[in-house]
Structure 1
């Protein structure tokens, strides 16, 4: 499991971790439904509340979130997909328990009290945390824990939307940002398990199957390209305004920020109740009022502002759900505007689906994930080609004219959270030390110099590790002959002090320990530093970087 190869052990753990992650996401979803039953006549329908109730509900929700965050520590309130991306880079997907606790409780409260947020952010966090915890408790190599955390993400998304294929592509395109077979197979298995479990609880529905079958032909391709261009502009405005809000308010205390988000959400919800909550109510309203451009435009503006302030000010929740809602409303508005420019018949529901695909693709910079998400959610393969046109034009306009990037990466940049590693370190992180270490060595305890030379001469294929007891513990040294490049062939014994590395570490940590002196070796231990399993030399790492070979 330490090597970048497909292993049945990791696949088995992916199935187990995916099942637990999916069950956790189902408990999260049921908790939201249970809480909403106390004050809503229908789940997600905030129109049943009075205007004053809609104004006060988000404020009450934020007070509950802040109370729980105060008990655990405000700095543990950070959660969601950007935080998971950060933890995957800096700690191989191992997430602090208190962050996960705040994500669960805060997410349930926020999604129950009308904030324009999605379930996928908490689902990603909960899945990654669950599988990362499993891997760390089993003392797996860190590179395997990273893959296992990605499996939890896939299971969480599949359990949230019942879209296993889109979940796999989302993980590869957005979370890991690389396609490797040894990662793809366990991630795929976890997504399948997540989807199977959610189907057993909620049935086979995908959530958007109420859309009628698409009726888009070649005569609609030009309008779809124009729609994509509009969506690209809107997505760029969404991302950049979100970043501006984060940048402006990030020095404010979390209490102030969340209260501002609650007041904005409550005020907008007072006038536009369909903009509150997750995407389903906004989509249903836009389809029911597809001929009223002014009403839809106001709904779009309210949903847009609610989402960027909720996400930008730190309310725990996801962004993909609101993105789908904004895309559907924007697609319907686009259809009405294009009707006035180009002749022809346009079905607003078809353009709503295209709006969802194009806006999601441009916002997340994930065209393939957006395409498959909309196809699976609507259960309509026929929209692939039209959706590709909308996605291609929206991504092209957003990237080329507005320099738009993934909203998650833009958030990480403005928050100054690391998500990149140097190419050398990224390459070495994929291999655990136990997969590259040498296990043949002689261990001598405080030997005299002549004994060191004698053992090195007799054991040509083995390394010599010297143990020197100290009052505070033991120190280990790696001994080797040093033959000068010039002059008489005289060999001298050189001893390099060895740095201990846990068996969970990767070659990246070994390189960091040896990179400055560019010689010597590290020793690998299990549980205790005196339980030596093997060693890795700098020459091995250098050879791998130059030739792709692990063992010399």
Structure 2
């Protein structure tokens, strides 16, 4: 008799659990996730750059450059069509926010299609010139690989979450060939509190992915030649950090505004046309906005200071220093709009890459502008690198990731001290006004963010009222008398009774002490009264859509342990008690403890 696949998997898992401990098996799975994550990163980079190279180099037509106005629109349109055609049963989201939400609210479940759909849609978006980064899609793809591998082998929440983080680390490590940055990224963004054992699977996954990606796609992201930083430039590094920190606040606010603007457009194809045409016009004016934008940064690192203007309609002014500075600054702000338009209109990508480009251009404009004054000669390449790190730290709230990522992808370990200073200052400036990063702000506003600064509030936000609702109460009808329900009243295990009419409306509550007084003859004047006459109005009533923090506030304010719950129409649903909330709270705390071990 043929065995079903589920039975084979179950038998395999049973054998595995007998032979290999979960701790060791997690390391093995981390390596496997790292290999697949590295392959995914190489595939995404290769596919994206192949599309871009084909459009820019292989297509020979004398008017093809006019199509550059429409390439981004075509890429976004193809991405939207793919999602609507091939992802009908599931949902498609982009960016890091859904991954954090999956950890906080969905028991680290990520739909399997994200393993490949993130690669396809982001390659189409960015390959055709969409002004976004590939890092968020590959982190999403890696997270889906890790999460689904854990679920396939029947691992628990803690272990699945760890593999999810391993997948994200593998994706970042493979995309940048930066294993340390990949590991730290997973810790800072996805595992905000961790213990030493968490390092081992992350290290293995990130290192493996970096090796695999380097074997298949060895081209480094940036080339930087620098000896050291000069002490007399320290003040200017600090000043740059302040400028970039202020810009990161601006970008966070513009990001919120752009999402609201595009949310008002309901038709997805209208979003494509609006976003695609807007993006095409921006790229026409600022060619550096095409695709990821890393080429513009590399040209500046190579000493080609006029490269930004060289390929634009302003090329005739590329030798005018002050115009180069002004154009670079305007390009930074144009990049912020281009990236947000790309993502909000249906394209798939992330703000990780755009953050690097914007920070690098700010660093270039700052240092090159200072040099034009003649008061000091700054190393422009060093300030480009410092600006990239500062922007990443401020926008993402991930200073350690910024330091090690920039050091690894540029080889700029000699700049470690300036990188540490600019990332710290930029982060503190942004954090002073933006409590949450660009990834977590929306989740925090919705109460869906798992944080550890306010553990009570966080745990309560994780609860849903329907999961603590108690229904095993004896319902009394308004026209009944206590003697009619003697048996039910005496044998109930509850000391409170809801009075509900035939339509399900809650009319009031009666405590058992009052009914026992009547049944025992201690209140003869009330024996003939109906339940509706005996019922009293509850101290407060909870609606089913009330969040648990508000429920506990009501209970504490009234110093009461139990309250009735009704739906939006006033129909009786059950009761919520402090004891049930505390039991659920304790269970969630234990779950968090397991997650952080």
TM-score calculated relative to the size of structure 2: 0.67
How far the C-alpha of 1:116 sits from its partner, in A, is 1.1
> Retained in 2: the 8 A contact 1:371–1:384?
yes
Equivalent pair of 2:46/2:217 in contact (CA under 8 Å): no
Cross-structure match for 2:441: 410
Q: 1:396 to 1:517 in 2, by over 3 A?
A: closer
> Which of 424, 430, 439 is equivalent to 1:392?
424
For 1:157 and 1:148, locate their aligned partners in 2 and report how far apart those are by CA, in whole Å.
Answer: 14
Larger radius of gyration: 2
Structure 2 counterpart of 1:331, from 363, 369, 373: 363
Shift of 1:137: 1.3
* Residue correspondence of structure 1 range 41-56 to structure 2 within 5 A: 41=57, 50-56=64-70
- Residue 364 of structure 1: aligned partner: 396
**Corresponding residue for residue 144 of structure 2:** 129
Shift of 1:60: 1.4
Normalised to the residue count of structure 1, the TM-score between the two structures is: 0.72
CA distance in 1, matches of 2:22, 2:198: 7
| Cα deviation, residue 6, structure 1 | 8.4
For 2:224 and 2:63, the matched residues in 1 are separated by 27
Q: 1:259 to 1:100 in 2, by over 3 A?
A: farther
Q: Is the aligned partner of 1:261 residue 2:275?
A: yes
Structure-1 residue corresponding to 2:84: 70
Q: CA separation in 2, counterparts of 1:313 and 1:151?
A: 30
The RMSD of aligned alpha carbons is 3.5
Separation in structure 2 between the aligned mates of residue 271 and residue 543 of structure 1, nearest angstrom: 53
Deviations 1:197-217 (CA, angstroms, capped at 9, x unpaired):
1121123x5422x22215422
What is the correspondence of 1:186-335 to structure 2 with a 5 Å cutoff? 186-203=201-218, 206-208=220-222, 210-253=223-266, 254-287=268-301, 288-289=304-305, 291=321, 292-335=324-367
Higher mean C-alpha displacement, 86-95 vs 324-333:
86-95
Report what 1:527 is aligned to.
none
Q: Is the 1:371–1:388 contact (alpha carbons within 8 Å) kept by the matching residues of 2? A: yes
Conservation of the 8 A alpha-carbon contact between 2:370 and 2:376 = no
With 107-116 and 86-95 compared, the bigger mean Cα shift is at 86-95
Q: Deviations over 1:5-52 (max 9, x none)?
A: 981111111111221122122222222233234322289xx9x98542
What are the ranges of 5 or more consecutive residues in structure 1 without an aligned counterpart?
429-514, 520-537
* 1:129-149 deviations in Å (ceiling 9; x for gaps): 011111111111122111111
Q: What's the offset of the Cα at 1:342? A: 8.3
Q: Which aligned pairs between 1:487-526 and structure 2 lie closer than 5 A? A: 518=579
Cα–Cα, structure 1 residues 413 and 265, in superposed 2: closer, same or farther, change >3 Å?
farther
Task: Confirm or deny: 8 A CA contact 1:211 1:378 kept in the other structure.
Answer: yes
* Matched residue SS, 1:344: coil
Q: 1:256 to 1:175 in 2, by over 3 A?
A: farther
Whether 1:381 aligns to 2:381 is: no
Deviations 1:229-266 (A, max 9, x none): 00011111111101111123224223322332211211
Give 1:40's aligned residue.
Answer: 56
